[in-house]
């Protein structure tokens, strides 16, 4: 029997704004309604104003972002979590769902995250609360066996999303049309497999990905490939770079190469991975153009960025 979701992560003391977004959105909503009413009375078509912005995009969640907010250890939403036993599911190995505690902002997009070869969910668990606190339901999964290959990990990511949106205790909190995939190493290779086989996915982020398939022209999902300059297990020259380079040039795609990093950099909390992942997921799962400022113009090389390539998101 499935237990209801149980908040076991308290609102972080470092997130005093945990209840702010709802009140901000309520004010914004009322203001937008007032603007709409006034415009109707005045016979105006559209009235450009900051207050009308939220109404333009029904998927926008949370306050306007800043560089500090996307670099923060936690975003504006307090996060709860619930465990999914491997015995309760088929097609993947169970996992942990991290989700915004509040239901007052409506539904959220969702992301499944796969670990790499020999790894378990603990190897990518830092992404759970980090991304969920920005306004996503995040499912960090275990695979059926730790030795599963990328194609299997891709199928397992999709099985996990299907469970999450159709059967999980948090399914009512998710907008099932706004889904994404991430993964480390063979899990990153799996996220490319998942996107290739399910074009409805809205975002993919392979982290130091590994795959024997080097070419991904079939992918139509906006994809951010993250490589590490010091990766000797999935060297960027034979993995992340050709993966990125083989994505259609017409696709919203980007390549972030971490500086001073290894194959295992994505296995612990990393602000560069987090800030560009948050920006990518917000931009393409939430259609939130407020995050374009962090993706475009392209980030410049820095202490943490060896190289960044991409085509700035076209459709704003």
Chain residues that interact with ligand 9J3, rule: CB under 6 A: 116-117, 185-186, 210, 233-234
Handedness of CA 102, 62, 311, 263 (dihedral sign): negative
The binder of 215, among ligand 9J3, Zn ion, none, by C-beta within 5 to 8 A per type, is Zn ion
Strand 108-114 relative to strand 174-184, pairing: parallel
Total chain residues near Zn ion (CB under 5 A): 2
Among residues 64, 68, 41, the alpha carbon closest in space to that of 54 is found at 64
Structure-token pair, residue 138: 């995040």
DSSP E strands, 160-278: 174-184, 203-207, 223-228, 253-258
Q: Please report, for the chain, how many H helices and E strands are present, in that order.
A: 8, 9
Binding site partner of 277, from Zn ion, ligand 9J3, none, Cβ cut-off 5-8 A by kind: none
Q: Catalytic site residue 185?
A: yes
Distance in Å, CB of 117 to ligand 9J3, minimum: 3
Angle at 114 between CA 313 and CA 249, to 5 degrees: 25
CB closer to ligand 9J3 out of 186 and 204: 186
Active site residue 269: no
CB of 180 to ligand 9J3, least distance (A): 20
Give the residue from 122, 183, 174 showing the smallest Cα distance to 154.
183
Task: Give the x/- contact pattern for Zn ion in 202-221, rule: CB under 5 A.
Answer: -----------x-x------
Q: Please name every residue paired with 275 in a beta bridge, in sequence order, or none if there are none.
A: none
CB of 103 to ligand 9J3, least distance (A): 36
Catalytic residue among 105, 162, 184, 263: 263
Shortest spacing between CB 254 and ligand 9J3, in angstroms? 22
Residue 53 is among the residues annotated as catalytic for this protein? no
- Of the pair 232, 250, the CB lying nearest ligand 9J3 is at 232
Catalytically active residues, by annotation:
185, 231, 263
């Amino acid at each position: 029997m499935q237990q209801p979701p149980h908040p076991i992560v308290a609102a972080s003391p470092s997130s005093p704004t945990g209840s702010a977004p709802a009140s901000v959105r309520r004010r914004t909503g009322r203001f937008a309604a007032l603007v709409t009413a006034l415009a109707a009375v005045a016979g105006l078509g559209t009235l450009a104003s900051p207050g009308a912005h939220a109404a333009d995009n029904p998927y926008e969640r949370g306050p306007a972002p800043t560089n500090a907010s996307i670099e923060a250890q936690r975003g504006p939403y307090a996060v709860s979590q619930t465990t999914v036993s491997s015995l309760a599911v088929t097609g993947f190995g169970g996992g942990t769902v991290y989700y915004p505690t509040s239901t007052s902002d409506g539904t959220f997009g969702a992301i499944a995250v796969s670990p790499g070869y020999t790894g378990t969910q603990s190897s990518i668990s830092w992404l759970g609360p980090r991304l969920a606190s920005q306004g996503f339901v995040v499912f960090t999964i275990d695979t059926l066996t730790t030795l599963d290959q990328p194609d299997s990990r891709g199928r397992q990511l999709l099985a996990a999303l299907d469970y999450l949106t159709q059967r999980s205790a948090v399914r009512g909190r998710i907008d099932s049309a706004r889904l994404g995939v991430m993964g480390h190493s063979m899990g990153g290779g799996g996220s490319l497999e998942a996107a290739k086989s399910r074009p409805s996915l809205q975002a993919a982020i392979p982290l130091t990905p590994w795959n024997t398939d080097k070419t991904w022209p079939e992918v139509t999902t906006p994809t951010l490939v993250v490589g590490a300059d010091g990766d000797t297990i999935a060297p960027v020259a034979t993995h992340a770079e050709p993966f990125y380079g083989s994505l259609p040039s017409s696709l919203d795609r980007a390549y972030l190469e971490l500086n001073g990093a290894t194959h295992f950099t994505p296995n612990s909390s990393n602000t560069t991975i987090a800030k560009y992942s948050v920006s990518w997921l917000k931009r393409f799962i939430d259609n939130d153009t407020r995050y374009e400022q962090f993706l475009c113009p392209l980030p410049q090389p820095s202490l943490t960025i060896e190289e960044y390539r991409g085509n700035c998101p076209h459709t704003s």
